[in-house]
């Protein structure tokens, strides 16, 4: 009887240990293609995931920033403008929480694209950054051609910003999580604190994925 | 007999006072809860759920000293917006607050909510008070 009980306990313990070791991974969003190619004389089938295309913008310091500057980083992207009267303050209040959570993580960055580049010059963005209380190169506020930004929004699977008389622009308040392979790993409503808490948890999960730890 | 009359009057007076007070309290609750809803719809995105503001971009609503000193201007700020430099909570702010097309009673409600939340305690700001203040907006 006693032996049986001990046996059962051992099994349960082992079972739990197994579960503990099981790697939790995030899903990969976006379109995917299955391609068959020939490599070294062998035919291999591979899944190609949607990735964020190349881009070129300027940050709040006036430095040119391209997709290359984000190589080897997990990053969170959003779209905003500095004179936004509606959802932006609440988004960036929440993004500050993300910023503070990963302040010391070398491979996590945040990029915020302005959708109003004619007003949000580099100087305006720098002032906004100072007032928001962010410094260094953890969180870039990016400015560039309007068409480029709008086109990029589509590849993040968020709707293109709309011009609106009262609110100036209507845009999504999503925070998009991108992995080191530039794949979309999650979308979170940046205006909802619970979603932002989930984002922070998901970044930790993502950071631990083998694909991410080995990527340069 | 005399005693009965006197105690009766006293009782009446007490009841009167009590009902008066609860009338005020009722008014306060009405203003406060209606103001809470307006706050969520019109103010919370920028000023935050706890009136905390946002860094040095958007001022907090927690500086009781500032709110008391500017009590008679608050209605104007809500109605016509606010531009230019202001100093409170040990910081300077120079953004722009948009105007809000609210009726005097709504302004009174939201101000009653704000000035009695986030550590503030200024009592009811009545619709009458707001109406008077709005006459003096610069």
CA distance B128 to A213: 64
Question: Is A15 a member of any domain?
Answer: no
pLDDT(B136) > 70 = yes
Q: What is the per-residue pLDDT across B73-84, written as a single tens digit (0 to 9) for each?
A: 999 999 999 999
Determine, yes or no, domain membership for A11. Answer: no
In a domain, A43, yes or no: no
Tens digit of each residue's pLDDT (9 = 90 or more) over A39-52: 777 888 888 888 99
Q: Which of A87, A104, A47, A110 is nearest to A191 (CA)?
A: A87
Q: How far is B106 from chain A (nearest CA, A)?
A: 20
Contact yes or no for B55 and A133 at CB 8 A: yes
Residues within 8 A of A (CB atoms), B 3-42 only: none
Residues of A with CB under 8 A from a CB of B: 83, 85-87, 89-90, 92-93, 96, 128, 130-133, 191
Please choose, from the candidates A193, A169, A173, A196, the residue with its C-alpha nearest in 3D space to the C-alpha of residue A85.
A169
Nearest by CB: B55 against A85, A86, A132: A132
Domains and CATH numbers, chain B: 23-135 (1.10.760.10)
- Domain range for A150 is 52-214
Residue from the list A85, A90, A93 with its beta carbon closest to the beta carbon of B98 = A85
pLDDT of residue A214: 76
The predicted complex's ipTM stands at: 0.72
Place of tokens 């503030």: B120
Which domain CATH number covers A90?
A: 3.40.30.10
Distance CA A215, CA B72 (A): 60
Q: Of B48, B56, B98, which is closest to A133 when you measure between CB atoms?
A: B56
A22 occurs within a structural domain: no
């Amino acid at each position: 009887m006693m032996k049986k009980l001990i046996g059962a306990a051992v099994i349960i313990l082992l079972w739990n240990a197994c579960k503990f070791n099981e790697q939790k991974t995030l899903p990969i969003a976006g379109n995917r293609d299955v391609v068959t190619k020939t490599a070294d004389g062998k035919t291999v089938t591979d899944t190609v995931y949607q990735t964020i295309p190349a881009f070129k913008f300027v940050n709040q310091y006036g430095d040119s920033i391209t997709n290359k500057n984000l190589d080897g980083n997990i990053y969170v992207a959003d779209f905003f403008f500095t004179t936004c009267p509606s959802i932006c303050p609440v988004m960036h209040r929440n993004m500050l929480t993300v910023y503070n959570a990963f302040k010391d993580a070398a491979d996590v960055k945040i990029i915020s694209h302005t959708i109003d580049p004619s007003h949000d010059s580099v100087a305006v963005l720098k002032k906004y950054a100072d007032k928001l209380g962010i410094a260094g190169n953890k969180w870039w506020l990016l400015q560039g051609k309007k068409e480029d930004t709008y086109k990029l929004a589509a590849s993040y699977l968020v709707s293109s910003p709309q011009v609106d008389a009262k609110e100036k622009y209507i845009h999504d308040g999503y925070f998009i999580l991108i992995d080191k392979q530039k794949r979309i790993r999650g979308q979170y409503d940046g205006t909802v604190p619970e979603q932002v808490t989930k984002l922070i948890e998901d970044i930790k999960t993502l950071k631990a994925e083998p694909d991410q730890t080995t990527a340069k | 007999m005399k005693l009965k009359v006197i105690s009766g009057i006293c009782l009446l007076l007490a009841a009167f006072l009590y009902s008066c007070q609860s009338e005020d309290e009722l008014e306060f609750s009405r203003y406060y809860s209606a103001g809470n809803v307006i706050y969520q719809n019109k103010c919370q995105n920028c000023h935050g759920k706890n009136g905390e503001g946002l860094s040095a971009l958007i001022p907090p609503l927690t500086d009781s000293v500032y709110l008391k000193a500017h009590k008679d201007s608050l209605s104007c700020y809500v109605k016509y917006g606010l531009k230019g430099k202001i100093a409170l909570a040990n910081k300077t702010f120079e953004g722009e607050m948009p105007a809000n097309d609210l009726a005097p009673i709504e302004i009174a409600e939201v101000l009653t909510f704000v000035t009695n939340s986030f550590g503030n305690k200024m009592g009811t700001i009545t619709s009458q008070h707001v109406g008077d203040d709005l006459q003096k907006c610069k």
